Amino acid sequence: MAPHADMALTSPNSNGHFNSATSPPKDLSFVVDSPNVEYTDNEILSKYTYRTTAVTWDGGKHVVTPKETVYNFKVDRRIPKVGMMLVGWGGNNGSTVTAGIIANRRGLAWDSREGPRSANYYGSVLMGSTIKLGTRAGSGKVMNKTGTGVSNKDFNIPFHNILPMVHPNDLVIGGWDINNMDLSRAMDRAGVLEPTLKAQIRKEMASMVPLPSIYYPDFIAANQEDRANNILSGSTASMAHVDQIRQDIREFKAQNGLDKVIVQWTANTERFSDIIPGVHDTADNLLKAIAGGHPEVSPSTVFAVACILEGTPFINGSPQNTFVPGAIALAERHDAFIGGDDFKSGQTKMKSALVDFMINAGLKLTSIASYNHLGNNDGKNLSAQKQFRSKEISKSNVVDDMVEANSVLYKEGEHPNHTVVIKYMPAVGDSKRALDEYYSEIFMGGHQTISIFNVCEDSLLASPLIIDLVLVAEMMTRIQWRLQTGDDDYKGFHSVLSILSYMLKAPLTPPGTPVVNALAKQRSALINIFRACVGLEPESDMTLEHKLF
């Protein structure tokens, strides 16, 4: 019998596998007993058969052909010391996620109007959810948490335990901001956390001060100008800015004894960049445009380029088109990881789940009307039309691939009406109000209307996503693959980390590949890629063992 998730952990037997008489190393909560999986001191090595189905058109009919490709995966089990650097560290998201990690690290509890509260990672898919590891059917027994024997039950583990991942409590946090407030005052300005919690972490937060950032006034709303008192000289892109960001990353890494750093954009939404041939289209042209101070290169793109050249993963948590074609090409050239765009936290996460359900249920969704009002600085910045347009695009595109996948309901070129409205209302602060109406055509010309009123505490929903994005991106730096056939060396995944899609409204995918925006599919892909890394098949919900006997 395989060891229970809570068993003590030691070493493998002579052939590199574990048996029931031994326990795995302490970084593992389970082991896979299979000839396709080997554990060494530093690595998990697995062989995985990837099964797909190819469809071709031949002589008036579709020909369906099952395909199999065998991959070898190699996972570095050594958990590194990781730094998380945030662009916009002093904003609502940056100050809230920093405070949350400190509170969790110290195991804090505090009083609120509703009663006592304690630190947690609710809202994080990695830290707050579980995944099915397998089922113990028949006469065998699996011990549950209370020690009671249970048969024919799903056996679930914390998502975080599927691979040896960094724990968020161990992250070292730093970053940049155009405003020079220390994190204690920034936390007060954000108005997100309870005073009784803030009092316990104030001293530590006060010691954290953002590094100067870059500020190109044309890319964010004019109402942000009064914040810009902590900026590097120069109002357009330059290699000096790229070099300074790279130096900041190196110094942060050295000062804290870090093995690696993950950088994430949590700053204001920028307007979309106009994609100009000769400026944004190739890696070399983009570098030349930055060196020449071209005014159509955005701050977020400059940060992305700096991170790519530094070999540091960069994730864009806002909706603008940071990853212009030249930035993606540069990442591919340097085998650097990038991911984006725009945190999928409240209203849009609900929309991607509900639209997926409705269309898969055979209901013809014909219109979606989404209204928001919020009072934090994000709302203030989005009150400018150009910045709102960036957000409108990312919130609207979330239904596209689900509609495209159903040719029964939607003929070519047909699409639901979709309107997004965002208004700035200072009085509600970080507690965003989101109202959605879904109007569908149903059986025999009938209609169904679903209306949802969703109160989203913006930063408390976004902060766990920031953590998830960092942890998954870091994990991907330790996973390599190669084809079973051939003598190719191991290599990393594609530079564009589409595996991050579950946490992002407008997921970036490698050029020429489809975008998947259905929430369940995105989570399934994340789970099953990690399962493949330990030699496990995708978990099936067929449960034939219960249905055939």
Report, as residue numbers or ranges, the catalytic residues. Answer: 342, 391, 432, 505
Peptide bond into 487 cis (omega under 30): no
9 contacts 23 by C-beta, under 8 angstroms: yes
Q: What's 267-286 look like in SS3? A: CCCCCCCCCCCCCCCCHHHH
- The span from the CA of 435 to the CA of 347, in Å, is 8
**Distances in Å between the alpha carbon of 327 and those of 84, 269, 281, 330, 473?**
21, 18, 8, 5, 18
Q: Quick one: DSSP state of residue 540?
A: P
SS3 assignment, position 108: coil
Token pair of 205 as six digits = 């937060």
- The span from the CA of 261 to the CA of 85, in Å, is 7
Instruction: Assign 3-state DSSP to the chain and report helix, strand, coil percentages, each to 5.
Output: 35, 25, 40
Number of other residues whose CB lies within 10 A of the CB of residue 422: 20
Pairing of strands 115-118, 417-424: unpaired
Positive or negative torsion for Cα 310, 513, 528, 41: negative
Q: Quick one: DSSP state of residue 120?
A: -
SS3 assignment, position 56: strand
> What residues have CB less than 8 Å from 487, skipping those under 6 apart?
none
- The span from the CA of 438 to the CA of 332, in Å, is 40
Phi and psi at residue 57, in whole multiples of 5°?
A: -105, 125
Q: Of 474, 473, 479, whose CA–CA distance to 499 is shortest?
A: 473
Look at the block and give the residue holding tokens 């992305």: 304
> What residues have CB less than 8 Å from 492, skipping those under 6 apart?
335, 337, 476, 477, 479, 480, 481
Supply the Cα-derived Rg of the chain in whole angstroms: 24
